[in-house]
Amino acid sequence: MLPTTLDEAVAALSEVPAAVPVAGGTDLMVNVNSGQLRPAALVGLGRISEIRGWSYQDGFAVLGAGLTHARMGRPDFAALIPALAAAARAAGPPQVRNAGTLGGNIVSASPTGDALPVLAALEATLSIAGPEGARRELPVSHLLAGMDMLQPSEVVGYVKVPLLHAPQTFLKATSRTGPSRALASVAVVLDPMRRNVRCAVGAVAPMPLRPLEAENWIASLIDWDGRRALAPEVLTAFGEYVAMACIPDPPPEEGADGAPGAVPQLPPAALHLRRTVATLARRGLGRALA
């Protein structure tokens, strides 16, 4: 089935309840080919032109779920939402970036989805199309946290992202050179109007993590009206604050008579991951403020 509008896609999914939507197929077909998924029918979203671009609405960019990573990586998009463009450029090899879409990245909700920490830091919202022309909005973070689910006949149409006109960064560490999945990633977004910093860490947990205390602490130190730079030690402390919040020490063991016992050490792999997150957060903030 190849609908050309969102409502046709919803109608096709409602008609065949076991049908599954497919956009670029880069995630879905891996599951089909491995035998993990045997959908009764596929509803292709690739001909729905209304979700392949973006528009503007009251200070927000309304991004079509069908935007590919390759399209989001181009300079005109990077001028609008730099961190999302950086994430799109880092999302896998060129074949994957040419076919894979923003909507597919969100609905797959893989811990290593590169767009996800950026959308979490931007506090993006989804516009979801449902049966009989229904539309509802849902924060991306609610979907990722499993607080709300997509119904089988619903389709993600758009992703609403604030246009902040301020620096933002996305940095990703991988375990090898060349395109590959994130070991850890960090998005940093400055919001000078609201005088806040938003940061999200990807790949270290099932969903992106927001170190809220670290965000508030660093926002209180930034000279929002002037040009006084943050000292390098402050950037380092921010990186460590973020990393400790996302990869905390294990709780102390219980000693004799219920008294607190020794604090167990983090395993070396977790310590390495914590150092990686600290470095990404320090660099990400430093570049955003530079």
Ligand X SMILES: Cc1cc2nc3c(=O)[nH]c(=O)nc-3n(C[C@H](O)[C@H](O)[C@H](O)COP(=O)(O)OP(=O)(O)OC[C@H]3O[C@@H](n4cnc5c(N)ncnc54)[C@H](O)[C@@H]3O)c2cc1C
Closest CB 211 distance from ligand X, rounded Å: 21
Residue 79 vs residues 73, 92, 204: alpha-carbon distances, Å = 10, 22, 28
By CB under 6 A, name the one of 3, 73, 103, 162 that touches ligand X. Answer: 103
Chain center to CA of 61? 16
Closest CB 286 distance from ligand X, rounded Å: 24
CB closer to ligand X, 156 vs 288: 156
CA–CA separation, 74 and 82 (whole Å):
10
Q: Does 7 bind ligand X (CB under 6 A)?
A: no
CB closer to ligand X, 27 vs 191: 27
Q: Does 109 bind ligand X (CB under 6 A)?
A: no
Q: Does 26 bind ligand X (CB under 6 A)?
A: yes
Q: At which residue do the structure tokens 């430093």 appear?
A: 286
Candidate segments 108-116, 141-149, 232-240, 267-275, binder of ligand X by CB under 6 A:
108-116
Phi-psi domain of 139 (left: phi exceeds 0; alpha: psi -120 through 50; beta: other): beta
The closest of 213, 250, 218 to 237, measured between CA atoms, is 218
Q: Does 27 bind ligand X (CB under 6 A)?
A: yes
The closest of 136, 133, 131, 168 to 152, measured between CA atoms, is 131
Candidate segments 21-29, 185-193, 211-219, 267-275, binder of ligand X by CB under 6 A:
21-29
Q: 36: burial class by Cβ within 10 Å (0-12, 13-18, 19+)?
A: exposed
CA–CA separation, 1 and 144 (whole Å):
28
Residue 56 makes CB contacts below 8 A (sequence gap 6+) with: 62, 163
What letter represents residue 115's amino acid?
A
Instruction: Provide the token pair at 84.
Output: 């999302």
Q: Among all residues, whose Cβ is closest to ligand X?
A: 104
By CB under 6 A, name the one of 10, 12, 19, 28 that touches ligand X. Answer: 28
Q: Does 21 bind ligand X (CB under 6 A)?
A: yes
CA–CA separation, 99 and 29 (whole Å):
12
Helix ranges restricted to H, the chain = 6-15, 28-33, 69-72, 75-80, 82-90, 94-99, 102-108, 115-122, 140-144, 212-221, 232-246, 268-289
CB closer to ligand X, 150 vs 234: 150
Q: Does 124 bind ligand X (CB under 6 A)?
A: no
Closest CB 277 distance from ligand X, rounded Å: 17
Closest CB 112 distance from ligand X, rounded Å: 6
Closest CB 24 distance from ligand X, rounded Å: 3
Q: Does 104 bind ligand X (CB under 6 A)?
A: yes
Subset of residues 47 to 76 that bind ligand X, contact rule: CB under 6 A: 65
Candidate segments 20-28, 138-146, 161-169, 203-211, binder of ligand X by CB under 6 A:
20-28
By CB under 6 A, name the one of 67, 143, 155, 201 that touches ligand X. Answer: 155
Q: Does 84 bind ligand X (CB under 6 A)?
A: no
Binding site for ligand X (CB under 6 A): 20-28, 30, 45, 65, 91-92, 96, 99-101, 103-105, 107-108, 112-114, 150, 155-156, 181
